[in-house]
Structure 1
Amino acid sequence: MAHLAAPLPSPRAGASGIGYLVAGIAVFSVQDLILKLLSGSYPLYEAMVFRSLTALPFLLLLVYLNGGTRTLFTPAMGKMILRGGLLFCAYTAYYLALASLPLATTVALFFTAPLFITILSVLILREQVGPRRWVAVLAGFGGVLIMVRPGSDLFDWAALLALGAGLAYALSMVTARRLGTTETAAALAFWGNLVFLAIALAMTLLLADGQFSDQVHPSLGFLTRGWVTPTPRDLALMMLCGGIAAAGLTLLTQAYRVSASALVAPFEYTAMVWGVLYGWLFWRDWPDATGWTGIFVIIGAGLYVLYRENLSTR
């Protein structure tokens, strides 16, 4: 959902952009799977430390290939760091929700981000939004109510974390709309990763001794669990997340670079395919009829919002 750069004209741009984006989403979906698998044994900040350290050299290479270190130290550096903080909040909330909710549910609730972007574009960017998009936004949040079922025995407050992740991600994307006109995608990614690493290290100092680890809820346990020395296999999985982040970012950046965002952005919803597939293969989670209804309403609303926004942009 990140509009990272202006597209370059090419007769094959459409197919190439879609291919890059679908591949990038598939790569990032593996990271979701890994972190959900690790969430019962390790703290999230530990995985973030190893992930961020592993991604750092890859991102430095991207910076070098996209203008060098001068692109990092610009007048907008503070805003890039702020955006990194928003992304940290978004992905922390998302991964904490993963510890408690089925993978498909978490992904679907996270994809309320386009709905939040519509609201924030009015409040922050003062953009005009027509009645059709407002109806789609309301319908999308109706789908959220269908999925989370507030007041029922099936309600889990971790669903609010997934929604908060969508909101924080939307804030970061609204910020990127302005930064993307002057800053490179590599610089944005580098500062985002550095913020991840700095906050994860701070959380390590605060929580590593395990003094707050007596939490029953899976999401709280994933947040406050003390540092656990990883097995070689699990350490490799955490470090793999860093490589995944760098590779996925490269693919998504290339997708938005070579093709119009209006064409490729809807294919971000292929993440739902992976969420449902991995959820069924590893945990035998399969949405019931109510869950499928909520998923289709949220996705349909999000796609319609993207469609109307693209028409408005034209």
Structure 2
Amino acid sequence: MTSITPPVVNAPSRSVQGIIAIELGMIVFVFQDAMMKSMLEVHPVWFLIFMRASVAVFFLVPTIAILGKPHRLLTPLWPLHLLRAFLFACGFSMFYAAFPFMGLAEVTTIFFSAPLFTALMAVVFLKESIGPHRIGALIVGFIGIVIAMNPFGGEFSWIAVLPLTCAVTYAASQVLARKIGERESSLTVGLYTLAMSGIMILPMGWGVNQIFAFGPEYSHLHWGFGITDAHDLLMLVILGLFGTVGWILLSRAYQIANPSLVATFDYSYLPMATIFAYFVWGEVPPTETFIGMGIIIASGLYIGMREIRAARASKEQLFVAETAYAPGNPLTAQNAYDEELL
């Protein structure tokens, strides 16, 4: 009697799974930012960030409670999370504040200079070594930022400084994430960052409005909040779900694959956002934005490839920007958690 062995179907490698997850995450984030851009015509930025955080927390708290270790609702590392949340609230309120005045591709191109600032801050504050190749890539990348912002052009606006400032605060938050390291799971890091930034954003918005008198062209920065009807509530919930799902996909990507490899696929957001904005709003970025975008992407990819090579040489997994969302393998995080309890 002849036995028939069923064919073995090989599952995709962890690297392929990570790439798929990061690409799906970038698609979700494009839709999230497009929704944010549209909804700023109705709601102030403070309220939208608060609602997005509220929806995320609504799903993350029971998820962490059900999953248990290594995830946790209470952590002794809350001061670091608090500082990261403050940087997130400040940075992304400025990032979204630029949306009504700049195209989606222009804003996000400037923001994607964050990995360059992260690499620079790692050298200054974490005393990490950096070779001549990466120094050259950083210089080229910052030239790309200047070209994208076009500060000497006749159409330059100070609004372009807002996404640049967000990139700096985001990079600083990633340096803090290095200090948190593998002592927290990705879900705990996300919960504290989103929850605390959501709480901070309301008094921050109120305070800004006490200092500055915004004209009608800055209506998205006025203080106020409220839900108009059931459809409005549904859109706010969808906005929060996009943010939550995108973050989970991003977290998963960095958790199962080499962070330096996955980070190189973050830049796929830029062409996707550019194409989406063209078909939805008819936005055509200026030539300077396309040139700066290309230079920033090339510089970031080169730095990422150098990190991969360095990681292979030292047999260590080096820190990259987004690993803040997935600080390590869950088993490693579990060991760190158990050690704290001993």
> Structures share a fold, TM > 0.5?
yes
Task: Give 3-state SS (helix, strand or coil) of 2:183's partner.
Answer: coil
Residue in structure 2 matched with residue 165 of structure 1 by the alignment = 166
Residue in structure 2 matched with residue 60 of structure 1 by the alignment = 61
Q: CA deviation at 1:48?
A: 1.9
Residue in structure 2 matched with residue 201 of structure 1 by the alignment = 202
What is the letter of the counterpart of residue 163 of structure 1?
Answer: L
Alignment of 1:124-273 (within 5 A): 124-203=125-204, 214-217=214-217, 220-227=218-225, 229-273=227-271
- Rounded to whole Å, the distance in 2 between the matches of 1:201 and 1:225 is 9
Query: Cα deviation per residue 1:221-275 (whole Å; 9 max; x = unaligned)?
Result: 3222533543433332222121112111111111111111122111111111221
Q: CA deviation at 1:151?
A: 2.9
Task: Give 3-state SS (helix, strand or coil) of 1:164's partner.
Answer: helix
Residue in structure 2 matched with residue 102 of structure 1 by the alignment = 103
- Rounded to whole Å, the distance in 1 between the matches of 2:71 and 2:114 is 32
Q: CA deviation at 1:190?
A: 0.7
Question: Is 1:87 aligned to 2:88, yes or no?
Answer: yes
What is the letter of the counterpart of residue 275 of structure 2?
Answer: L
Cα 1:265–1:50, aligned 2, differ >3 Å: closer, same or farther? same
Cα 1:266–1:70, aligned 2, differ >3 Å: closer, same or farther? closer
Aligned 8 A contact 1:212 1:225 in 2: no
Cα 1:119–1:225, aligned 2, differ >3 Å: closer, same or farther? same
Aligned 8 A contact 2:49 2:201 in 1: yes
Aligned 8 A contact 2:260 2:305 in 1: yes
Q: CA deviation at 1:213?
A: 6.0
What is the letter of the counterpart of residue 278 of structure 1?
Answer: F
- Rounded to whole Å, the distance in 2 between the matches of 1:127 and 1:12 is 31
- Rounded to whole Å, the distance in 1 between the matches of 2:268 and 2:32 is 15
- Rounded to whole Å, the distance in 2 between the matches of 1:143 and 1:97 is 19
Task: Give 3-state SS (helix, strand or coil) of 1:275's partner.
Answer: helix
Question: Is 1:312 aligned to 2:310, yes or no?
Answer: yes
Question: Is 1:279 aligned to 2:280, yes or no?
Answer: no
Question: Is 1:114 aligned to 2:115, yes or no?
Answer: yes
Task: Give 3-state SS (helix, strand or coil) of 1:16's partner.
Answer: helix
Residue in structure 1 matched with residue 290 of structure 2 by the alignment = 292
Aligned 8 A contact 1:90 1:164 in 2: yes
What is the letter of the counterpart of residue 96 of structure 1?
Answer: A
- Rounded to whole Å, the distance in 1 between the matches of 2:70 and 2:20 is 30
Residue in structure 1 matched with residue 338 of structure 2 by the alignment = none
What RMSD over aligned residues (CA atoms) do the two structures have, in Å? 2.3
Q: Quick check: 75-84 or 111-120, which moved more?
A: 75-84
Aligned 8 A contact 1:213 1:226 in 2: no
Residue in structure 2 matched with residue 4 of structure 1 by the alignment = none
What is the letter of the counterpart of residue 293 of structure 1?
Answer: I
Task: Give 3-state SS (helix, strand or coil) of 2:102's partner.
Answer: coil
Query: Cα deviation per residue 1:69-121 (whole Å; 9 max; x = unaligned)?
Result: 97232321211221122222222221112222100111111110111011100
RCO higher in structure (CA 8 A, sep ≥6): 1
- Aligned positions, number: 302
What is the letter of the counterpart of residue 142 of structure 2?
Answer: F
**Structure of greater Rg:** 2
Cα 1:133–1:170, aligned 2, differ >3 Å: closer, same or farther? same
- Rounded to whole Å, the distance in 2 between the matches of 1:110 and 1:237 is 25
What is the letter of the counterpart of residue 160 of structure 1?
Answer: V
Cα 1:129–1:64, aligned 2, differ >3 Å: closer, same or farther? same
Question: Is 1:33 aligned to 2:34, yes or no?
Answer: yes
Aligned 8 A contact 1:17 1:255 in 2: yes
Q: Quick check: 67-76 or 13-22, which moved more?
A: 67-76
Aligned 8 A contact 1:120 1:174 in 2: yes
Query: Cα deviation per residue 1:106-153 (whole Å; 9 max; x = unaligned)?
Result: 111111011101110011110001111111111111111111111322
- Rounded to whole Å, the distance in 2 between the matches of 1:241 and 1:292 is 28
Query: Cα deviation per residue 1:209-228 (whole Å; 9 max; x = unaligned)?
Result: x99664255xx432225335
Residue in structure 2 matched with residue 3 of structure 1 by the alignment = none
Q: CA deviation at 1:288?
A: 3.2
Unaligned runs of 5+ in 1: 1-9
- Rounded to whole Å, the distance in 2 between the matches of 1:181 and 1:211 is 40
What is the letter of the counterpart of residue 143 of structure 2?
Answer: G
Task: Give 3-state SS (helix, strand or coil) of 1:52's partner.
Answer: helix
What is the letter of the counterpart of residue 157 of structure 2?
Answer: D
